[in-house]
Amino acid sequence: MFHCNLCEKETVYLSKFCDKCRRIKHYLNLYDERVYIILDSVLSRDNQKQDNKIKLEINNEIQNLRNKQIKRGSEVD
Ligand SMILES: [Zn+2]
């Protein structure tokens, strides 16, 4: 029985990371540097502003995904 390598709170048995931290690892694999940029920009604010910033970042991500899909669509054509 060990503690999670990342949060150092949750107990893990076979893996290095707990379920929650494995999700963070997953996001790091997917988005790499974006994860640090978003965390820095969101968590350096107070709670109310954090919520606003989170909404803004989510909207930006959705817009980026849409733009990528539009680009992919036009490449096929
Ligand atoms: Zn953990």
Q: Are 42 and 57 in contact (CB under 8 A)?
A: yes
Distance 69 CA to ligand 1 centre (A): 33
Q: Strand, coil or helix: what is 74? A: helix
Distance 58 CA to ligand 1 centre (A): 24
Strand blocks (E) in 2-63: 2-3, 11-12
pLDDT by residue for the chain (77 residues), tens only, comes to 799 999 999 999 989 999 999 999 999 999 999 999 999 888 887 877 888 888 888 888 888 888 888 887 765 55
Distance 57 CA to ligand 1 centre (A): 24
Q: Which two tokens stand for residue 39?
A: 């965390």
